[in-house]
Amino acid sequence: MSQSIQVARTVRDLRAITADWRAAGKTIALVPTMGALHPGHLALVQHAKQHADKAVVSIFVNPTQFAPHEDLARYPRDEAGDLAKLAKANADLVWSPTVDEMYPAGFSTSIKAGSAAADLEGAFRPHHFDGVATVCCKLFNQVSADFAIFGEKDFQQLAVLRQLVDDLNMPLTLIAAPTVRETDGLALSSRNAYLSDAERRIAPALFATLSEAAAKVEAGEPFTVVTAAAMADLSSAGFTKVDYVEIRDARTLGATTSPGRPLRILAAAYLGKTRLIDNVAVGSRD
């Protein structure tokens, strides 16, 4: 017998469901997604169920975080497949609004992301994190979540949203879940579907290069030497463009030259038209 899952498509219906849960004393965890779900997303659902009585998964391809030249129109969508996966994962509710429901006529308020958004992805996608902050603020309020679960693969996004929650005194806890990877190290991402067979064979070099860079930092090599070598290695591996490889303070994402602090190495690079991001911790200090 096939499983099904409850889907809310209006804020009114969503709040009616969550109000009943609240009245019964249930806690709620939210997993925000843009759909095209893969095992990494489903791992987040399991984290949600470990932390709360009810797990809500939002599916919304948010137009405000895409620039005009980016891949909004071709971003992968598979709602029927997503719902089947979430039913099997025992999620309790899917929140799947339309663009008009999320941004009705006359909508004009937005959130400006804080200092964690200032560079890295923020430099290459200047309005991206404002869109992320705005939609997540709405999702947090709509669901009235006690917890929100995000993967570490989008590490800067995690930092931006932690800052949002802290700065605006939001009554929820953000929980970071480890990046889920293929057996060859490639971080799971909906955009991996864009890779050709040849590009897919090259893609694991991103994680391998960052892991090697982390080991060099642990061994005491200068940060600038490590990042320059990593960028050269990615180019040699077949990446067509490297936007950045940076070593940052793991808490604030601020620039640092102190090896004694918790650190993250973050990178973004292109294989053909597909832009991949990844990050690794330096040691186990963060």
- By annotation, the residues acting in catalysis are 41
The 10 Å Cβ neighbour count of residue 70 is: 13
Angle at 268 between CA 263 and CA 274, to 5 degrees: 155
> How many Å apart are CA 245 and CA 266, to the nearest integer?
6
**Three-class SS string for the chain?**
CCCCCCEECCHHHHHHHHHHHHHCCCCEEEEEECCCCCHHHHHHHHHHHHHCCEEEEEECCCHHHCCCCCCCCCCCCCHHHHHHHHHHCCCCEEECCCHHHHCCCCCCCCCCCCHHHCCCHHHHCCCHHHHHHHHHHHHHHHHCCCEEEEECCCHHHHHHHHHHHHHCCCCCEEEEECCCECCCCCECCHHHHHCCHHHHHHCCHHHHHHHHHHHHHHCCCCHHHHHHHHHHHHHHHCCCEEEEEEEEECCCCCECCCCCCCEEEEEEEEECCEEEEEEEECCCCC
- Cross-strand pairs, 94: 7, 57
Furthest-apart CA atoms within the chain: distance in Å: 59
